[in-house]
Amino acid sequence: MTLSIRSTVLLEALLMICAGACASSGATHESDDRTRVADVNQTVVDVNLHHVESTTERDVDVTVVQAFDALPAAYAKLGIRNAAVLDTSGGVYTVGARNLRLHGTLGGTRLSSYIDCGSGTMSSPADTYDVIFSASTYITPRTGGSTLHTLIEASAKDPTASAPSVRCTSTGRFERELARLASTPG
């Protein structure tokens, strides 16, 4: 298939977006999705998107027990009031919330502060689309404190269109705020 210049530019833009979204540190989980993209001339191109979900690590100067005890309140201060223990397998306790349905804000903060879902014509899709948001944190000990390992997963869907959902990536702000709150007494 011969690609038009517009199709080539669109394909390159998608690959650059994916490459940017895939670059981060920490533990990763990879998955492949296949999508069909059409440009303004309705030229259809199949694109394989490679997603990497990464766990952000933040060191805190409190013990594992203190951090674990503080996490539900830290999540609540960020707007997630139903955070709970999600998993206890292998002696690792994971706290968080899954599949929250959000629109525009989380705890009074614009979603675009926490996640990047690409760019829209007038505003960020994170702030205007319907978002499914999940956050989970597990804690490991380290000398002089502990480390919070937080995974943010989100997708956004335009409520006014029949287009598929888009994957969102973390901006890192949620994880920084969570670590600050979990390491602050009271």
Q: Give me the residue spans of the domains in the chain.
A: 53-182
The pLDDT of residue 54: 66
Provide mean pLDDT across the span 157-161.
91
Residue burial 108-139, b: 16+ Cβ < 10 Å; e: rest = eeebbbbbbbeeeeeebbbbbbbbbbbbbbbb
pTM, to two decimals: 0.70
Task: Give the residue among 98, 107, 129, 100 at the shortest CA–CA distance from 116.
Answer: 129
Tens digit of each residue's pLDDT (9 = 90 or more) over 13-54 = 333 333 333 333 344 444 444 444 444 445 444 443 434 456
H helices of the chain, where? Answer: 5-22, 64-77, 125-128, 173-182
CATH architecture of the domain with range 53-182: 2-Layer Sandwich (3.30)
